[in-house]
Structure 1
Amino acid sequence: MLETIIDFSRYSSVKIGAPLKVSVLESDDEISQEHQIIGLANNLLIAPSVKNLALLGKNYDYICDQGEWVEVGGAANASKIFNYFRANDLEGLEFLGQLPGTLGALVKMNAGMKEFEIKNVLESACINNQWLEKEALGLGYRSSGFSGVVLRARFKKTHGFREGVLKACQSMRKSHPKLPNFGSCFKNPPNDYAGRLLEGVGLRGYCLKRVGFAKEHANFLVNLGGAEFEEALDLIELAKARVLQEYGIHLEEEVKILR
């Protein structure tokens, strides 16, 4: 098994982290339950002491037409998947043109924008070398009910790429900040919006040391320059405490914290 060193202050989308050892997995028999898969580290906050990090190698970076469905490897990135679906006039994943991440992470968190999400198109996924139908994965709002590594997945083929959906998703992205971030920091609670709650407790544009919540959108934690893990964690905990005190609502992180 190949190992490499990744500097997460450069690699992750939020540009927070330390140089850490990462295993590169190229075959199914190298996968274990202990591995914490990082993908492209777009929605991760990674502690400097974390162990058992891994990513899927080039053998998992593929897209294959299998007749009734399209099979996608766990390391294929969102842009590659989006371009394939668009080039082949397939509908359902238009929103991937505006999202980062690899297939594994997209399935694991049921990624999406508004009502457009992975589970609408997913047929099945191979988890730790076992194929499971969509219904067995427990996919919900930015969540799933399975443990293990997504090695590959199959999507249904429906012709008719929707340019209107793509434009709607592009419009949603206009409010996103330019500073390093990991996308939405918190999940929206039922019948409300995390951004509204954070703004309501004075956190839009708020800074704590070298991190802050963006002026453009309160639910985006941004790295102001050279931020470290504990600074981001402190701001997340501060936000949860303020919202709980003011509204009685427990915010749940959308960002995955590895420690």
Structure 2
Amino acid sequence: MPLELIPNPLLSKRTTLRLGGPAAVEAVVREETDLDELSEFLTREALPPFVIGAGSNLLAGDGPLELALVRVADCPGPERVERDGSTIIVRCGAGLRLPGLLGWAQKAGFSGMEGMTGIPGTVGGAVAMNAGSYGVEIGELITRVRVWTPTGGLVWLDRGQCSFGYRSFSLADLPGKFLVWEVELGLGESDPKAVRSAMRDVYRNKKATQPVTAKSAGCVFKNPPEQSAGKLLDKAGMKGARLGGMAFSEVHANFLVNLESGTAADALQLMEMGRRRVKEQFGTTLEPEVIVL
């Protein structure tokens, strides 16, 4: 089956904020054999590529975007591949939805990811952003990652060849653009009921303190060192602040939510308003966590 190409895909249909105009094209990668065609396509079209997962950390502009979206399709798995002492090594594809991975791990009695309950998106996106919450980051669990580059193809890299930071993931040996294809995680063993109980506690706490069911892109700004972006925005009077169809959540000030009729222009203005107020009142410069296209 040839590489699937979708013309003029709407970002508003591909992001959890439900914002964004059309990109030039979207390439959907389903099999390893599609990657050779993808390399040829990107060379031929000469469009800047952007790898998109479930769009859970994106704020896309309202107008047309001269981009080639690249999406790894949902995939089967995960699977247990081996035991290393008390650690269970689990392999999963980048297109797998993160909630699906957590649900599978819970039923199998594999622990270590409970704090990531409630994070949307794909495994590949979680790796690319080193997603985390409640004291757990996915980078802490990675033992190996398999990545693809247009010139080098697919290659497995050990954890020591990867660099993980606060919402960042990079590869010293591959400084250019790359696509996460699959990953191996080291998990512990526990009673499935205990894992489920821990996941329920995390979700219950998140639901009480975050707008988990709203159209949002998660946290808008990174937490400054030793500070909380949400608390700074709250103290600056941004909780519940609204512009057009966008608002800072009344539940958590660091979540920007689409109230059905929002635009990217509204969202960017609100973000700048929040940055300015926090800077003026506290002298702290907030940096975006959400990726702006």
Give TM-score scaled by structure 1 length: 0.91
Equivalent residue, structure 2, for 1:2? 4
Equivalent residue, structure 1, for 2:56? 42
Quick one: distance in 2 between partners of 1:183 and 1:43?
7
Q: Could you say which structure has the higher strand fraction?
A: 2
Correspondent of 1:29 among 24, 28, 36: 36
Residue deviations 1:230-251 (CA, integer Å, cap 9, x gap): 2212221222222122222121
1:181–1:157 Cα change, 3 Å? closer
**Mean alpha-carbon deviation: is it higher for 47-56 or for 74-83?**
47-56
Residue deviations 1:8-63 (CA, integer Å, cap 9, x gap): 323321111124331112333345584211111111112233211110124x4432
Equivalent residue, structure 1, for 2:86? none
Equivalent residue, structure 2, for 1:158? 188
Unpaired runs of 5+ in structure 1? none
Residue deviations 1:53-109 (CA, integer Å, cap 9, x gap): 110124x44322212321110100012101211121111112343111101111111
Deviation of residue 176 (structure 1)? 1.8
Correspondent of 2:254 among 203, 219, 223: 219
Quick one: distance in 1 between partners of 2:289 and 2:283?
19
Equivalent residue, structure 2, for 1:63? 78
Q: 2:156 aligned with 1:131, yes or no?
A: yes
Deviation of residue 110 (structure 1)? 1.1
Equivalent residue, structure 2, for 1:174? 208
Unpaired runs of 5+ in structure 2? 43-47, 84-88, 149-153, 172-176
Correspondent of 1:140 among 158, 165, 181: 165
Q: How does 1:2-21 map to 2 (within 5 A)?
A: 2-4=4-6, 5-20=8-23, 21=25
Q: Secondary structure at the match of 1:144?
A: strand
**Contact 2:93-2:181 at 8 Å conserved across structures:** yes
* Total equivalences in the alignment: 257
Quick one: distance in 2 between partners of 1:30 and 1:57?
15
Q: Secondary structure at the match of 2:221?
A: coil
Give TM-score scaled by structure 2 length: 0.81
Correspondent of 2:93 among 48, 51, 73: 73
